[in-house]
Amino acid sequence: MLFFALKGSDELGDRVAQAGRFARAPHEERAFDGGEHKSRPLVDVRGRDVFVLHSLNGDAHASANDKLVRLLFFVATCREHGAARVTAIAPYLAYSRKDRQTKPNDPVTTRYVAAMFEAAGADLVVTLDVHNLAAFQNAFRCQTLHLPTDRLFAEVIAARGSVRPVAIVSPDPGGVKRAQLAREALEQVTGGDVRFGLMEKRRSAGVVSGTHFAGDVDGCAVYILDDMICGGGTILRAAEAVRAHGAAEVHAVATHGLLTQDAVHGFGQGALVDDITLTDSVAIHAETAAILGHRLRVVSCAPMIAAAMRSLHDPRSVDRRQ
């Protein structure tokens, strides 16, 4: 097995390698005048089981487009030079939010990205807590593996303990299944009942609306759970609603921390959310961590990714849960 982590995902790659007790294979990434680049493995990949890690979020150093192309090119060169199998691991998979047509002439970028991975020669694509699981599974013709975070967050929430009743809240209808699975996992871990809530949400032309909330959260420690936090508006709207319905504590929980400056300001300055728990699927900037301070909690997804790689590499222990 060979494991590569591309530039920008190298810190997460180190944690994955440490958790799995295997080494990161060496590779080269070079930039050329005019914005072009090349990447190549520095070891022979012929006949090997190759895993390539790159989280596809845009940041100050590279756009989502650039990271996607770099991952595709690296997958392609491994395939061209005889790798037995190439697995692309994108903990955050870019363009997964646009998975259906909602307006005339809309793109379906989830399907286009899937086609690019297939064209590059990826045998398998692994991602973490994708935005729409059904759309992800239906878009790809190559093999896929989805790593859910419900159990991970259930254990984190249970470890914190609470003298109050606990409620899991979905901040929008699209996340109901995700929140339900987290609720079920938390009930299994704690052996107790967990309440549930749902926030209405409608989005058109970038404007979010909807004010209805359903659920009993009075006196509860509420955990608002989503796949990602970007601008922060969805979580903050839900936080305002559960506060109005009597929540005693409000905690935000999300897998991917795509935190814009507006989100950092909103969470750092406001009193609606007590704290935020994220995974390290996306690198958290030092400035963001400094602003959020004690409100920010980060749990590593590296052991989950490492375990998936081990089971994929050894067919006798493949975990096929989706």
Q: What amino acid positions are annotated as catalytic residues?
A: 201
Give the torsion through C-alpha atoms of 30, 258, 185, 126, to 10 deg. -30
Rounded Cα–Cα distance for residues 24 and 89 (Å): 14
- The DSSP result for 233-285, as a single string, is HHHHHHHHHHHHTT-SEEEEEEEEE---HHHHHHHHH-SS-SEEEEESSSPPP
Positive/negative CA dihedral, 58, 59, 63, 69: negative
Any idea what the Cα angle at residue 210 is, between residues 205 and 214, rounded to 5°? 145
Q: Please tell me the total number of residues recorded for the chain in this structure.
A: 322
Any idea what the Cα angle at residue 171 is, between residues 101 and 266, rounded to 5°? 105
